[in-house]
Amino acid sequence: MSTGIFGFKARRRATPFAAQTVTANALRTVEDQGLTQAKVRIKGPGPGRDGALQAIRYGPIRLVSIEDITPLPHNGCRPPKKRRM
């Protein structure tokens, strides 16, 4: 599912409310199929992450665990060369 399906355009797509709306709708769909409990794995930063977590926590499905699988850099990218004058 994506936020564009629910009428969110441009800047409003990246809001916590849009993420909460999409997640709540996805939970209703999954609940109709008979799912009662779930393990949640969250990847990446952003404002939509917290909104989605709230929708999952207050939704009809029981949470077994929440796991953060955001990749972390070991040393990061190589910095640019020093400027020579």
Domains of the chain: 16-68 (3.30.420.80)
What local confidence, expressed as pLDDT, does residue 3 receive?
82
Examine the pLDDT at 69 and tell me if it is beyond 90. Answer: yes
Q: How far apart are CA 60 and CA 72, in angstroms?
A: 32
Q: How far apart are CA 60 and CA 74, in angstroms?
A: 38
The β-bridge relationship of strands 37-42 and 62-68 is: parallel
pTM, two decimal places: 0.73
d(CA 52, CA 27): 11
| Rounded-to-integer distance, Cα 33 and Cα 41, Å | 20
CB 48 within 8 A of CB 19: yes
Asked if the model's pLDDT at residue 41 lies above 90, the reply is yes
Mean pLDDT of all residues belonging to the chain: 89
| pLDDT class of 11 with cuts at 50, 70, 90 | confident
